[in-house]
Amino acid sequence: MKKMLISLFVASLLLVAVVAFADKNLPVYKKGDTVYVCTCGDTCDCKTMANKEGKCACGVDLGKGTVSSVGKDKVVVKVGDKSLNFPAKAKYACGCGDGCNCGTIAQKPGKCGCGSEMKKVL
């Protein structure tokens, strides 16, 4: 019984650590930041955002925009005269690790701005 409780405690600590550090390498956007985003509109399900030019997960060239507001659940980006909504939490992100600053995140898999495959966010 004692071994089971210790095992459960250790497993709980590992789970907390994974959750706590899962988003540490994801970009944090602030109002006024220049970003590159999928310009397909709110009906597109890729919702790609990046710090550098490139293509979004759905294959369209990213458009340059400015973050106009950041909420708990969404980021609003103004591209030209359009305001586009993006989820604040990504399902996929650039998996290059430290040293890469393309900052690509999306809601579906694809290639990030630096050309690598995006990885599922834990």
The DSSP secondary-structure symbol of 55 reads B
Tell me the average pLDDT across 100-122. 86
**pLDDT tens track for 54-103:** 888 888 899 999 999 999 899 999 999 999 999 989 999 987 876 777 88
- pLDDT of 11 > 50? The answer is no
- Name every residue whose Cβ is closer than 8 Å to that of residue 113 and which is 6 or more positions away in sequence: 36, 50, 51, 52, 53, 54, 62, 94, 102, 103, 104
Q: Give the C-alpha separation, 37 to 17, whole Å.
A: 31
Reported as a pLDDT band with limits 50, 70 and 90, residue 3 is: low
Cα–Cα distances (Å) from 116 to 29, 32, 97, in that order, read 21, 27, 11
What pLDDT does residue 81 have?
93
Average pLDDT over every residue of 111-119: 84
pTM of the model: 0.74
18-41 pLDDT, tens digit each: 333 344 456 788 999 999 999 988
Going by their DSSP bridges, the two strands 105-106 and 118-120 should be labelled as unpaired
Distance CA 14, CA 5 (A): 14
Q: Are 46 and 107 in contact (CB under 8 A)?
A: yes
